[in-house]
């Protein structure tokens, strides 16, 4: 028998393991997306408990929340009842040990581990378990999987469970951020009802922004890791030439969503970095026409979902080569085109053009067909956390970081950015860069 042929049991076993691991990774990506879209804490708990059991092949799973010095078993998914709704002291519970030590707990046999309160476990089927912290920096809770026989979880199972817990922590923080943003908006509405003085409203907005800033910057660091993993997976799947068109469209949407999450995190980090004087472009020779087309391809799934078009006019061949930081400039263009799509009507178009107005400069113009920006707000659209208002815009309009980053990155290149009325309606953003 050929040891390298299809009948080789070692090779076949390795292939089966690889397939299972790929399926588990794809399942984890889908679950992280579900968590990110969850609108309330109970949905996050339910999704995470179900997925913990599924990803680890366990007979049960629990999501435990920290309540001061108590462990609250808030959600479970198991073959029989565990401890849902009950509270235990942190000092007498393995989930409390996990939160206090900010580290996973692996228990091969509950009868042999001193961290296990046996009286609480005797009525259950549990014989072995693994428990991981939900956000190890400042644990919000713990996530555990349980088995009815003595066994040690595999490294893959432990990794999947921790990745799931990290995704749940980000989703919980995202809900808290949305709630705080809603509270901020309510406060602003109350202020606007008593005064129309623009300066007073901006001072109130600044107060609310400071309340959110620390949480936003912590989130930005942690958002990048799961988003990067999803981007890598989606990109790899899209390279498969045999991928069915229906799956290709689905993975394009996943790629577009993950790109938005990562770009938002990078915008937040870079706007903070510039305030510390560390946003320094790394200049290289760039083909601006190719960069425009790349940006259009990335955002095409978002535009297609709303029946919109991205029309690119890249200029004469070779006329728009510049020295710039490709990563920063790509994100500037993505933010401007994304912003134009969000503020344009469904089935409308966004027009992107590159041209050379003179020998020393290159200009990129992004035009939308939206409601436009009132003159009195144009000086403020690049302010951090500024919102352009409804004006018929999509409810998915951004959180006021993209345009701030654009201004910082363009000025770091020695260029300028401005907004004006678009001929025929809408807004026109113009970026001038040294050639």
Residue 152's domain is classified under what CATH number? 3.30.450.40
Largest CA distance in the chain: 86
The Cα–Cα gap between 99 and 94 comes to: 9
pLDDT of 200 > 60? The answer is no
| Locus of tokens 């999509």 | 394
Q: Tens digit of pLDDT for each residue in 283-297?
A: 899 988 889 998 998
The tokens describing 309, both together, are: 């078009």
What does the mean pLDDT of the chain come to? 79
Split at pLDDT 50, 70, 90, the class of 86 is very high
Within a domain: 105: yes
The Cα–Cα gap between 148 and 122 comes to: 12
Between the ranges 96-100, 208-212, 377-381, 425-429, where is the mean pLDDT highest?
A: 96-100
pTM: 0.44
Assess whether 18 and 154 both reside in one domain.
yes
Q: How confident is the model over 340-355, as a mean pLDDT?
A: 89
pLDDT at 394: 40
pLDDT of 97 > 70? The answer is yes
Out of 138-152, 160-174, 235-249, 362-376, which region has the weakest mean confidence (pLDDT)?
235-249
Assess whether 271 and 306 both reside in one domain.
no
pLDDT of 222 > 50? The answer is no
Higher pLDDT, 56 or 23: 56
pLDDT at 397: 44
β partners of residue 147: 128
pLDDT at 398: 46
pLDDT of 204 > 80? The answer is no
Looking up residue 300, the CATH number of its domain turns out to be: 3.30.565.10
Q: How confident is the model over 256-284, as a mean pLDDT?
A: 65
pLDDT at 403: 87
Assess whether 241 and 388 both reside in one domain.
no
pLDDT of 215 > 50? The answer is no
Within a domain: 302: yes
Assess whether 300 and 375 both reside in one domain.
yes
Q: Compute the half-sphere exposure of residue 192: CA atoms within 13 Å on the CB side of its CA.
A: 8
The Cα–Cα gap between 94 and 96 comes to: 5
Within a domain: 67: yes
Within a domain: 2: no
pLDDT at 299: 87
Print the domain residue range for 255: 193-275
Out of 56-60, 365-369, 376-380, which region has the weakest mean confidence (pLDDT)?
376-380
Within a domain: 427: yes
Sign (positive or negative) of CA dihedral 174, 178, 183, 188: positive
Residue where a domain terminates, one of 207, 240, 275: 275
Within a domain: 143: yes
The tokens describing 57, both together, are: 């092949």
Higher pLDDT, 33 or 14: 33
Q: How confident is the model over 257-275, as a mean pLDDT?
A: 61
Within a domain: 65: yes
The Cα–Cα gap between 270 and 279 comes to: 7
pLDDT at 418: 92
β partners of residue 145: 61, 130
Residue where a domain terminates, one of 217, 244, 275: 275
Residue where a domain terminates, one of 275, 300, 318: 275
Between the ranges 61-65, 341-345, 403-407, where is the mean pLDDT highest?
A: 61-65
Q: Tens digit of pLDDT for each residue in 377-426?
A: 887 888 866 655 544 344 344 445 788 888 988 998 999 999 988 887 88
pLDDT at 32: 83
pLDDT at 189: 63
pLDDT at 225: 47
Split at pLDDT 50, 70, 90, the class of 231 is low
Higher pLDDT, 267 or 410: 410
Q: How confident is the model over 314-343, as a mean pLDDT?
A: 86
pLDDT at 186: 64
Higher pLDDT, 258 or 134: 134
Q: Tens digit of pLDDT for each residue in 120-148?
A: 999 999 999 999 999 877 788 999 999 99
Burial of 324 (0-12, 13-18, 19+ CB in 10 A): buried
The Cα-based distances of 359 to 154, 316, 363 in angstroms read: 62, 14, 11
pLDDT at 95: 94
Assess whether 391 and 413 both reside in one domain.
yes
* Residue 89 DSSP label: E
Sign (positive or negative) of CA dihedral 292, 297, 303, 307: positive
| Structural domains in the chain (count) | 3
């Amino acid at each position: 028998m050929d040891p390298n042929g299809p009948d080789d049991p070692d090779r076949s076993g390795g292939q089966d393991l690889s397939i299972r691991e790929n399926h588990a990774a794809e399942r984890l990506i889908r679950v992280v997306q579900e968590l990110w879209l969850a609108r309330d804490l109970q949905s996050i708990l339910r999704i995470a408990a179900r997925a913990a059991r599924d990803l680890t092949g366990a007979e049960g799973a629990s999501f435990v929340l920290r309540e001061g010095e108590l462990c609250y078993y808030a959600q479970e998914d198991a073959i029989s009842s565990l401890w849902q709704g009950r509270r235990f002291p942190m000092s007498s519970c393995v989930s409390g040990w996990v939160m206090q030590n900010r580290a996973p707990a692996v228990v091969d046999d509950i009868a042999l581990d001193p961290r296990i309160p046996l009286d609480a476990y005797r009525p259950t089927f549990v014989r072995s378990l693994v428990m991981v912290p939900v956000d190890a920096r400042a644990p919000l809770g713990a996530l555990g999987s349980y088995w009815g026989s003595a066994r040690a979880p595999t490294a893959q199972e432990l990794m999947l469970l921790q990745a799931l817990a990290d995704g749940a922590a980000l989703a919980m923080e995202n809900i808290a951020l949305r709630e705080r943003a809603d509270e901020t908006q309510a406060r602003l509405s109350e202020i606007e009802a008593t005064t129309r003085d623009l300066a007073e409203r901006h001072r109130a907005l600044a107060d609310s922004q400071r309340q959110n800033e620390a949480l936003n910057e912590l989130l930005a660091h942690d958002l990048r890791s799961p988003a990067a993993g999803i981007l890598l997976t989606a990109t790899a799947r899209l390279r498969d030439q045999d991928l069915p068109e229906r799956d290709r469209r689905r993975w394009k949407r996943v790629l577009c969503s993950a790109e938005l999450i990562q770009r938002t995190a990078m915008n937040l980090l870079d706007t903070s970095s510039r305030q510390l004087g560390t946003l320094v472009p790394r200049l290289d020779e760039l083909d601006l026409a190719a960069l425009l087309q790349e940006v259009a391809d990335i955002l095409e799934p978002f535009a297609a979902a709303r029946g919109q078009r991205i029309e690119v006019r890249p200029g004469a061949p070779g006329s728009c080569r510049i020295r710039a930081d490709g990563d920063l400039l790509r994100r500037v263009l993505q933010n401007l085109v994304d912003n134009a799509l969000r503020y344009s009507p469904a089935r409308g178009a966004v027009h992107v053009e590159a041209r050379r107005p003179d020998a020393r400069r290159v200009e990129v113009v992004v035009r939308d067909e939206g409601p436009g920006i009132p003159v009195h707000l144009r000086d403020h659209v690049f302010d951090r956390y500024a919102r352009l208002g409804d004006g018929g815009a999509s409810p998915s309009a951004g959180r006021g970081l993209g345009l701030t980053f654009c201004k910082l990155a363009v000025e770091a290149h020695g260029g300028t950015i401005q907004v004006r009325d678009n001929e025929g309606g809408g807004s026109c953003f113009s970026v001038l860069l040294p050639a």
